[in-house]
A and B are shown apart, each in its own frame.
Chain A
Amino acid sequence: MLFKILQYIRGYLCIRVTGYSAERFLNACRYRQIKLWDLKPLSGAYEMNISIRGFKQIKPVLRKTGTRVVIVRRIGFPFFLYRYRRRKLFFAGAGLCLLFIFALSKFVWNIDIRGNLTRTDETLIEFLSSKDIKNGMLISDVDCARIVKDIRKEYDDIIWVSASIEGTRLIIQVKENEDSIAAADDIDEASGVKTGEDEETEETTEPKDIVADTSCTITSIITRKGVPQVQPGAQVEAGQLLVSGQVPVNNDAGEITGYQYQESDADIRGQAFLEYKDTQSLTYEQKIFSTTEKKEYFFRLFGYRIWLGSVKNDYENVEIYSEETRFQLSENFYLPISYGHREAHPYKSKMKAYKKEEIQRILTERFLTYCEDLEKKGVEIIENDVKIYTGSKEAEARGTLTVVMNIGTSRPAQPLEAEVLPEENEQSGEEMNGNDGSSD
């Protein structure tokens, strides 16, 4: 195949050799290293292909062997050019095409971002365009080192960046800090409630209390850090202190000499009441679409729109759908050219009433979804007295849910007054030594 392409580019001739001893011609050609191929015997003659260079060398061979040669066909690119030599515009076009490709290869046509997990391509591309790095810019204007610096400066969680130009593509490879991603996931999973992972960050001297976020009856309390202030069975109000983050340090006489500050950590569950209310209108609007519709096709170029047809109409109620597709050169290089269509569907509006069963079904479904959401959050539903009340205009589902749920939110503790010496107050981790010292 490659051989054939090369032959075509160089150009070759199909010749017919006639004479008394055409075989002698073949052997003489071979002797002079003139390449022949595709030999075909004809009656008293041979047809074969020969390169242009070879053809120029066969004159002495012909004289010597007494054969005659006729050119049957000229094949190849040089002959093609010669045949169309008068078509100046064609050559101008071909030249322009080459020039155009050369010019286009000077621009960035695609920005490829790899390795980003937490940030989308769009975010990074938007950031880059704010730094004047965008599709369609000159490759010579791209400063890869600058891009790397900018990205590192802007995003703290990106720990490694590489920018390179490959052809007309700007490739940006980033490596994100996977530890910070994992930490973010942990917080999500815990949904704000403290878990064991917090122990790792125990070197915080800032004391934190846990207070009740709703009024409830405490059913269980397991304290890991801090001093519990309530017992199971206790009634608490919203905002009441449940676990104190300031652990008192007593001396032998039972007097408080100082406080050990901690970030309180506890699993507290309490029984609380949740109000539920949901309303649903008894009527709804039904749209009756007519069979007529209007369509409009458009083509948009730099904000200018050319359209075919129109969606203009005198109908009272109309729904208009629009669909637009932008042309793109590469996966994220959009051109300011788009096309699309708009459809107008006129309709008549009619008020309809729900049936009783339908109302019940809608409200029940919504209530069940609400319950499911609660259960996902770890809320246990003990009792519910939600009922559906139907009025003249709307139906209402309301009632109270008795639930057992996690109670408590973290809050910075109010520093308690300690009747201790200031230097002992400063000691946070090694209060036992301080204790010994005072007892001595």
Chain B
Amino acid sequence: MRTKNQEHSDPPHAFRSKIAEASELPKDVVLGQPVLTVLGCMELNIENYRGIIEYTDCLIRLQTKAGQIRVKGKALHIEYYTNDDMKVTGQIESIEYKH
């Protein structure tokens, strides 16, 4: 099932990626991939996300086009939360991707 899925989703993905490269457009716009900007281990800016799945002060799970992103840490705090981006502060220990 999974392999079949990959076969279905990969070619258009590769195609889009190629277009993005050829047209020199930013990939985050064309592919809708999340952009994470991390400042040290205390600030994290996330753009292009779909929504929050879980939020506690030691774990934030986000849904994005590239799958789930898990941010683990201590005293995590969402400074703001808008349609475009969100900002997380606190002590970030790990950022994981899960497909």
Interface residues of A in 5-49 (CB under 8 A from B): 23, 26-27, 29-31, 33, 35-41, 46, 48
A343 to chain B, nearest CB (A): 64
Contact status A39-B53, CB under 8 Å: no
Q: What residues of chain B lie closer than 8 Å to A29, measured between beta carbons?
A: 81
Main secondary structure of the interface of B (DSSP, over half): strand
Contact status A39-B55, CB under 8 Å: yes
Place the interface of chain A in its size category.
Answer: 10 to 19
- Whether, in the assembled complex, B42 has its beta carbon less than 8 Å from a beta carbon of chain A, the answer is no
Contact status A37-B57, CB under 8 Å: no
Look across to chain A and name the residue whose beta carbon is closest to the beta carbon of B80. A37
Interface residues of B in 50-94 (CB under 8 A from A): 50-57, 77-83
Q: What residues of chain A lie closer than 8 Å to B57, measured between beta carbons?
A: 40-41
Contact status B82-A35, CB under 8 Å: yes
Contact status A23-B78, CB under 8 Å: no
A15 to chain B, nearest CB (A): 13
How many residues of chain B are within 8 Å of chain A by beta carbon? 15
A39 CA to B80 CA, complexed, in Å: 7
Among A33, A36, A39, A48, residue most surrounded by chain B Cβ atoms (within 10 Å): A39
Contact status B52-A27, CB under 8 Å: yes
B50 to chain A, nearest CB (A): 8
Q: What residues of chain A lie closer than 8 Å to B80, measured between beta carbons?
A: 35-38
Contact status A26-B54, CB under 8 Å: no
Contact status B79-A38, CB under 8 Å: yes
Contact digits for B29-63, partner A, Cβ 8 Å, 1 yes 0 no: 00000000000000000000011111111000000
Q: What residues of chain B lie closer than 8 Å to A31, measured between beta carbons?
A: 83
Among A27, A31, A35, A46, residue most surrounded by chain B Cβ atoms (within 10 Å): A27
Contacts known (A39-B77, A40-B77); A26 close to B82, Cβ less than 8 A: no
Contact status B56-A41, CB under 8 Å: yes
Contact status B83-A41, CB under 8 Å: no
Contact status B79-A30, CB under 8 Å: no
Interface residues of A in 37-82 (CB under 8 A from B): 37-41, 46, 48
Q: What residues of chain A lie closer than 8 Å to B55, measured between beta carbons?
A: 23, 26, 39, 41, 46
A35 CA to B84 CA, complexed, in Å: 10
A30 CA to B49 CA, complexed, in Å: 11
A48 CA to B79 CA, complexed, in Å: 10
Contact status B81-A37, CB under 8 Å: yes
Look across to chain A and name the residue whose beta carbon is closest to the beta carbon of B76. A41
Look across to chain A and name the residue whose beta carbon is closest to the beta carbon of B81. A36
A8 to chain B, nearest CB (A): 16
A437 to chain B, nearest CB (A): 99
Q: What residues of chain A lie closer than 8 Å to B77, measured between beta carbons?
A: 38-40
A35 CA to B53 CA, complexed, in Å: 18
A23 CA to B78 CA, complexed, in Å: 13
Contacts known (A39-B77, A39-B78, A40-B77); A26 close to B83, Cβ less than 8 A: no
A46 CA to B55 CA, complexed, in Å: 9
Look across to chain A and name the residue whose beta carbon is closest to the beta carbon of B56. A41
Q: What residues of chain A lie closer than 8 Å to B78, measured between beta carbons?
A: 37-39
Contacts known (A39-B77, A40-B77); A23 close to B54, Cβ less than 8 A: yes
A404 CA to B54 CA, complexed, in Å: 107
Contact status A27-B51, CB under 8 Å: yes
Contact status B82-A30, CB under 8 Å: yes
Q: What residues of chain A lie closer than 8 Å to B56, measured between beta carbons?
A: 41
Q: What residues of chain B lie closer than 8 Å to A38, measured between beta carbons?
A: 77-80
A43 to chain B, nearest CB (A): 9
A129 to chain B, nearest CB (A): 59
Question: Which listed residue, B53, B82, B83, touches A23 by the CB 8 Å rule?
Answer: B53
Contact status A26-B79, CB under 8 Å: no
A26 CA to B79 CA, complexed, in Å: 14
Contacts known (A39-B77, A39-B78); A33 close to B83, Cβ less than 8 A: yes
Among B54, B57, B78, residue most surrounded by chain A Cβ atoms (within 10 Å): B78
List 6 A–B pairs whose Cβ atoms lie within 8 Å, in order of A's numbering: A26-B52, A26-B55, A30-B51, A39-B78, A39-B81, A40-B57
Q: A30-B51, A35-B80, A37-B79 are in contact. List 7 more A-B contacts (CB 8 A).
A: A23-B55, A30-B81, A37-B78, A38-B77, A39-B81, A41-B55, A46-B55
- The 5 tightest CB contacts between A and B, nearest first, are A39-B78, A27-B51, A37-B80, A36-B81, A41-B56
